């Protein structure tokens, strides 16, 4: 059996001694490849895709697709190469892809494998340069004494794929201080270096920003131009209304100082009044942090004047100007009306007019009279408005009916009898009342406000918009459906009344639908405050009488109500009982106490202990005063006859037993 392993063939070299030739020199008549590795220039971190080597196969049988190549890049990495024909006839190229992480010189080896065991190799080198990192300074103009926080430099890096965390930045601010910078990605690409610092002196300066790539220590410096400036002054004008031939004194301008809080004495203010006169203003600090310029001047004519206020910093001469409008007016009163909206039948009190007095005065120097437009007149009250020089006239009045009226307000200066008149429009409307509903007190036979009653046709009443329609509904507790119990019209005075029922005993959740004169219906649920409406017409009963101590005559009486429960307070009144078999002057019990029970529901029995008093050896029973004891709904105790007393004897609740003798 022949082996598949190729064997070398020994042949004698013509003209000399015998010599062994490798089998692959004759295998498929191939010749040795001459592989030439090309010089490689790369930048660290940047991916390469380029021809690495070339070779000429010579007299070779087979196609390019049958050839393979391996590239060893010299940095410990190897990858297959792609075989392709180059642009030179008869030449084949080996193309490779690779990324060098770090700069330096690397040996490169390329091996080409042919059919069978044929192969050839070549060696070369790769020169890898640093990826350029380029930083650029950004000019800044911080304010002396104020914290600066912003961009001081930017940089781009040819090393791909790194984020802001891959770099470090140091800032030498040029005044002997150094701090770390913050790296942030720039919106347009690259990165920004941000820093925070406070300069103590004005003038030009230079900051040096050093950016370092943490991966390999590559760095670059950027020089940033720094011009430290003094704080800016920003002035604002205003409007003043001096009175002719009267000294004006007040604020003519305000300004902001961007620097730290300065003493007002550091500034100088000059005021050109617009009529050829100039004076020096007084600078004062205001609580808001601004500064005000106060000036004093007397105008000799009326009219409008442009006032120019110049504020300068005394130490540096830095300045700004503000333009103020001065409107010089004659002495006088100017009144202005307004619109009021009182409600008919309700007292109104409010502002009915305002006026401006020139020159300004105090409120006590004026009087006001108000003609309300319905034939009545009253005095107004003068009050100072927040705006200087303006006053308010306050009046009070009650209009009997809705409508409209012209209110005439007359203001007079007491000293000179100077007068001004203003007309105010009064629109009197009907008082709108919020919707409400409640059980009429006369129908609430139980405790006030608990909505528990023995009246099965209770009266409901409430308030609402006049002439709207109120529809009432009742839903038994525990059920989902409701049923109508009546409807009514809200009267002109905003009240409504409705008799509901008759309703069977039970608890009901009441609701209402209100149909206003305009707009959409409104649902009101629940209607009654304090809980559902409870109808209870059943009377409570005595359900037990037991002697607890025959020697002393003490008794235990049990009461029960099937609906709302017993009104415990009525059970504890001795005046509601009389002991059977006792003389009239000793009929009332000496003491009554409520016995603690495990009662959970209102309908559970309630037990009281009755002490007839000393000297009573035996009790035959009780006589209960009619109407005294009731349930929560107000129903009196049930008895043999209506209106008569309830008599309860021991025999009615079982046979008497002779007490056992105590030994």
Q: What is the DSSP string of 337-363?
A: E-EE--BTTSEEEEEEEEEEEES---G
Mean pLDDT of the chain: 83
Q: Which two tokens stand for residue 186?
A: 């720039």
Q: Which two tokens stand for residue 307?
A: 């006032």
Could you tell me the pLDDT band of residue 619, with boundaries at 50, 70 and 90?
A: low
Q: What is the mean pLDDT of residues 169-173?
A: 95
Give the least confident one: 130-144, 419-433, 434-448, 642-656: 642-656
Could you tell me the pLDDT band of residue 660, with boundaries at 50, 70 and 90?
A: very low
632: nearest Cα among 504, 518, 538, 525: 538
Q: What is the percent of the chain where pLDDT is above 90?
A: 41
pLDDT of residue 132: 83
Could you tell me the pLDDT band of residue 56, with boundaries at 50, 70 and 90?
A: confident
pLDDT of residue 618: 58
71-116 pLDDT, tens digit each: 999 999 999 999 888 778 878 889 999 998 888 899 999 998 877 6
CB 553 within 8 A of CB 617: yes
Q: C-alpha angle with apex 63: 59 to 66, nearest 5 degrees?
A: 115
560-618 pLDDT, tens digit each: 998 888 999 899 988 888 877 666 656 778 889 998 876 678 888 899 888 887 755 55
Residues 6+ apart with CB under 8 A from 575: 588, 625, 628
Highest mean pLDDT: which range of 237-241, 253-257, 407-411:
407-411
Q: Quote the pTM value.
A: 0.38
271-308 pLDDT, tens digit each: 999 999 999 999 999 988 889 999 999 999 989 999 99
Q: How far is CA 371 from CA 235, 346, 531, in A?
A: 48, 18, 50
b (16+ CB within 10 A) / e for 421-448:
bbebebebebeeeebbbbbbeebbbbee
Could you tell me the pLDDT band of residue 518, with boundaries at 50, 70 and 90?
A: confident
**Res 221 pLDDT > 50:** yes
* Domains, the chain, ordered by start: 24-129 (2.60.40.650), 133-228 (2.60.40.10), 233-328 (2.60.40.10), 332-428 (2.60.40.10), 436-535 (2.60.40), 541-653 (2.60.40)
Q: C-alpha angle with apex 621: 617 to 626, nearest 5 degrees?
A: 135
Cis preceding linkage at 526, omega within 30: yes
Q: Which two tokens stand for residue 429?
A: 């409307």
Give the least confident one: 174-188, 290-304, 515-529: 515-529
CB 325 within 8 A of CB 240: yes
Could you tell me the pLDDT band of residue 656, with boundaries at 50, 70 and 90?
A: very low
pLDDT of residue 268: 94
pLDDT of residue 170: 96
**Res 657 pLDDT > 60:** no
Q: How far is CA 544 from CA 437, 601, 622, 624, 649, in A?
A: 41, 18, 12, 14, 10
The DSSP letter of residue 157 is E
126-160 pLDDT, tens digit each: 998 887 888 999 999 888 878 899 999 999 888 88
Q: What is the mean pLDDT of residues 364-382?
A: 94
pLDDT of residue 361: 77
Highest mean pLDDT: which range of 1-5, 119-123, 197-201:
197-201
pLDDT of residue 242: 84
Residues 6+ apart with CB under 8 A from 493: 466
Q: How far is CA 382 from CA 353, 357, 377, 594, in A?
A: 10, 12, 16, 67
- Quote the distance between the C-alpha of residue 621 and its chain's center: 71
Q: Three-state SS across 86-126?
A: CCCCCCEEEEEEEECCCCEEEEEEEEEECCCCCEEEEEEEE
pLDDT of residue 164: 92
548-560 pLDDT, tens digit each: 877 777 888 899 9
Q: What is the percent of the chain where pLDDT is above 70?
A: 86
Give the least confident one: 22-36, 114-128, 283-297, 454-468: 22-36
Residues 6+ apart with CB under 8 A from 77: 98
310-350 pLDDT, tens digit each: 999 887 778 889 999 998 877 778 899 999 988 888 899 99
**Res 21 pLDDT > 50:** no
Q: What is the mean pLDDT of residues 358-368?
A: 84
Give the least confident one: 71-85, 110-124, 378-392: 110-124
pLDDT of residue 615: 59
Q: Which two tokens stand for residue 605?
A: 């029995």
246-270 pLDDT, tens digit each: 788 899 999 988 765 678 988 999 9
């Amino acid at each position: 059996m022949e082996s598949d392993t190729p064997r070398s063939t020994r042949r004698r070299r013509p003209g000399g001694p015998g010599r062994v030739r490798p089998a692959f020199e004759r295998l498929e008549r191939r010749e040795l490849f001459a592989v030439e590795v090309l010089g490689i220039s790369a930048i660290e971190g940047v991916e390469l895709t380029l021809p690495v080597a070339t070779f000429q196969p010579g007299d070779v049988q087979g196609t390019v697709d049958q050839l393979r190549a391996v590239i060893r890049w010299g940095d410990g990495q190897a990858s297959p190469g792609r075989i392709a024909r180059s642009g030179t006839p008869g030449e084949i190229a080996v193309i490779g892809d690779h990324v060098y992480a770090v700069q330096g010189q690397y040996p490169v080896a390329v091996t080409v494998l042919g059919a069978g065991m044929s192969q050839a190799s070549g060696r070369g080198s790769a020169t890898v340069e640093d990826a350029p990192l380029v930083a650029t300074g950004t000019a800044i103009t911080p304010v002396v004494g104020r914290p600066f926080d912003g961009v001081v430099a930017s940089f781009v890096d040819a090393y791909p794929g790194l984020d802001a965390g891959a770099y470090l930045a140091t800032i030498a601010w040029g005044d002997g201080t150094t701090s770390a910078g913050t790296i942030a990605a720039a919106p347009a690409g690259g990165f920004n270096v941000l820093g925070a610092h406070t300069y103590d002196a004005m003038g030009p300066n230079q900051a040096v920003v050093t950016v370092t790539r943490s991966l390999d220590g590559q760095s670059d410096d950027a020089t940033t131009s720094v011009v430290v400036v003094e704080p800016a002054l920003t002035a604002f004008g205003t409007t003043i209304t001096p009175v002719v031939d009267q000294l004006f004194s007040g604020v003519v301008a305000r300004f902001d100082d961007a620097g730290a809080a300065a003493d007002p004495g550091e500034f100088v203010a000059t005021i050109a009044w617009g009529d050829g006169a100039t004076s020096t203003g007084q600078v004062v600090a205001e609580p808001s942090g601004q500064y005000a310029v106060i000036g004093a001047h007397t105008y000799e004519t009326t009219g409008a004047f442009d006032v120019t206020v110049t504020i300068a910093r005394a130490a540096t001469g830095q300045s700004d100007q503000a333009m103020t409008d001065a409107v010089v007016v004659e002495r006088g009163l100017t009144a202005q009306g307004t619109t009021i909206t009182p409600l008919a039948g309700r007292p109104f009190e409010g502002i009915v007019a305002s006026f401006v007095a020139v020159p300004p005065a105090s409120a006590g120097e004026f009087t006001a009279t108000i003609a309300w437009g319905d034939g009545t007149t009253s005095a107004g009250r003068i009050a100072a408005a927040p705006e200087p020089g303006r006053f308010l006239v306050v009046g009070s009045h009650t209009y009997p009916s809705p409508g409209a009226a012209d209110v005439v307000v007359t203001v007079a200066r007491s000293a000179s009898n100077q007068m001004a008149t203003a007309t105010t429009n009064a629109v009197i409307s009907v008082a709108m009342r919020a919707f409400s509903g409640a059980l009429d007190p006369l129908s609430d036979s139980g405790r006030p406000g608990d909505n528990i009653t023995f009246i099965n046709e209770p009266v409901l009443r409430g308030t609402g918009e006049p002439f709207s329609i109120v529809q009432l509904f009742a839903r038994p507790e525990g059920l989902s459906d409701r049923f109508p119990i009546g409807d009514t019209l809200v009267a002109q005075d905003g009240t409504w009344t409705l008799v509901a029922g008759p309703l069977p005993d039970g608890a009901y959740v009441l609701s209402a639908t209100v149909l206003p004169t305009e707009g959409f219906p409104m649902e009101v649920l629940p209607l009654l405050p304090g809980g559902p409406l409870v109808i209870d017409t059943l009377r409570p009963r005595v359900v037990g009488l037991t002697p607890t101590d025959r020697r002393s005559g003490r008794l235990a009486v049990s009461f029960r109500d099937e609906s709302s429960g017993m009104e415990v307070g009525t059970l504890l009144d001795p005046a509601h009982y009389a002991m059977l078999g006792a003389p009239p002057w000793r009929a009332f019990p000496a003491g009554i106490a409520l016995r603690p029970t495990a009662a959970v529901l209102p309908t559970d029995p309630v037990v009281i202990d009755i002490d007839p008093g000393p000297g009573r050896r035996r009790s035959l029973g009780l006589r209960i005063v009619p109407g005294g004891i009731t349930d929560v709904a107000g129903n009196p105790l049930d008895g043999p006859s209506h209106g008569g007393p309830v008599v309860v004897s021991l025999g009615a609740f079982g046979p008497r037993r002779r007490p056992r003798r105590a030994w």
